[in-house]
Each structure stands twice: as structure tokens, then as C-alpha cells.
Amino acid sequence: MKKFSYEGHTAHQFDVELNEVKHKVMNMGGLVESMVHNGLEALLTMNTELGAQVSEDDHRANQYELDIDEDCTRILARRQPAASDLRLVLTIIKTISDLERIGDEAEKLGRISVKLSGEADVPHYYKDLRHLGDLVKTMLRDSLDAFTRMDVESAFRTAARDEAIDQEYATFSRLLISHMMENPRQVSHALDMSWCARSLERIADHCCNICEYVIYLVEGQDIRHANLDDMRKKLL
């Protein structure tokens, strides 16, 4: 595994600029992580206030994306980064786009929680949704961790979890279908739940992307659309 550092430039100001932009990405990651947590909680506890909070946070996430994009543009124009520095800037540009999308998905959870707040009963499948949500939240945290520590091993491990989440999503969808067949009057509610599960599944996909960027960043190998196990054997 390669060592990775974005410090040690003779032009010290370049270190400072890269450090600043990386910290912004970490802050954005933290915000998005809390949005996913809050969105899910709002949904599962019917907390409309929390749901509305997620929508507000989404504006902040969008602003982060714009700011970081601008920082990266400035770095590209002024520093013409090469090799690992270039890969770092490219990785950041791509990562924040996925983070922004994760924020959008979290915002959807919040929006649906507000919409469903009037419902009387908590359906039994909520616990399955919570399970899916917990898996996704852990995956998001570990992806951001892998990014922060530039940890290829952890990125591989985290990306591999996408498959389990896909299966969990498929199981949950089947559960919803049987619930809809048994309770035709709750189809509308169950469809909303299906959208929520879909959002969670999409968040896991974005996490997977972030892990792939981390591997590209450190190893210089683009592993998108490649077999994860093969690449892992090759690189580690």
C-alpha cells in the first residue's frame, strides 16, 4: 500500500490550501452524516421538527459543495497540481458531488417524515427500515473515515458492504409488497416507505463511490466498474 501525504510542499502555502479544502470536505461529510441520521430519526419517530431541520441543513450542504468546488478550481488554476496532489483535488471534486447527493437523499427522508407525521400507527416494518438505515449510516461513517485517513484497506472493506445493503433493500421491498397485498389501504404509506428505502440504498451507492475515489487517490488506480475482489488482491 502506498503512503499518502498532501503535506511537505516547498511552497508551504500549497499545503495550507490543500489542508483547508480537505477540512471543508470533512466538515461537509459530518454535516451530511448528521442529515442522514436526523432524516432517519425524523421518519422513525415522526419528529416533524427534525424533518424540517434536515431540509434546512441541505442548503448548507449545497453551499459547501459550491465553496469547495470554487476552492478546487482556484487550486487547479494557480497550482497546476500533479500526481497525488492532482488526484487529491479530483477526488475532492468527485466526493463532494456524492456527498451533496447523499444530502439530497437525506432531505427526501426528512420531507417524507413531515408528510407522514399525521399517520396514527407505526407500521411493523419500521424496525426493518431502521435496520437498513443503521447499516447505511455505518457505511457512510466508515466511508468518511476512510477518506479522512486515506485508508485503502478500510475503503475496500467498506465498499464491499454495498452488496449486503442491496440485499437488505431487496428483502425490505419484498416485505413491503406482501404488506401492500395484505393491507391495500396502506399502499400509499408503504410506497412512501419504499421511496425511503430506495434513498437509503442510493446513499450506500454514493458511499461506495467515495470509497472508490479514496482507493484511486492513494493507489492511483481507477477501480470503478472493476471487480472489487480482483482489485483488492492486486493492490493489497
CB of residue 232 to other proteins, shortest distance in Å? 18
Our finding on whether 198 is near other proteins (CB under 8 A) is no
Binding test (CB under 8 A) with other proteins, winner from 63, 178, 183, 221: 221
Q: Does 85 bind other proteins (CB under 8 A)?
A: yes
Using CB under 8 A, which of 39, 51, 81, 103 touches other proteins? 81
φ and ψ at residue 118, rounded to 5 degrees: -80, -10
User: Does 220 interact with other proteins (rule: CB under 8 A)?
Assistant: yes
182 binds other proteins (CB under 8 A): no
Residues between 31 and 60 with contacts to other proteins, criterion CB under 8 A = none
Least distance to other proteins, CB of residue 157, Å: 23
The identity of residue 225, as a single letter, is: H
Rg of the Cα atoms in the chain: 19
With CB under 8 A as the contact rule, the residue among 31, 86, 160, 235 that binds other proteins is: 86
Asked if residues 20 and 79 have their Cβ atoms less than 8 Å apart, the reply is no
Q: Is 225 left (phi over 0), alpha (psi -120 to 50) or beta?
A: left
Give the cell for residue 199: 434513498
- Contact, 155 vs 215, CB < 8 A? yes
Based on the shown chain and the rule CB under 8 A, indicate whether residue 233 belongs to the binding site for other proteins: no
Instruction: Find the length of the chain.
Output: 236
Interface ranges with other proteins (CB under 8 A)? 3, 8-11, 14, 80-87, 220-221
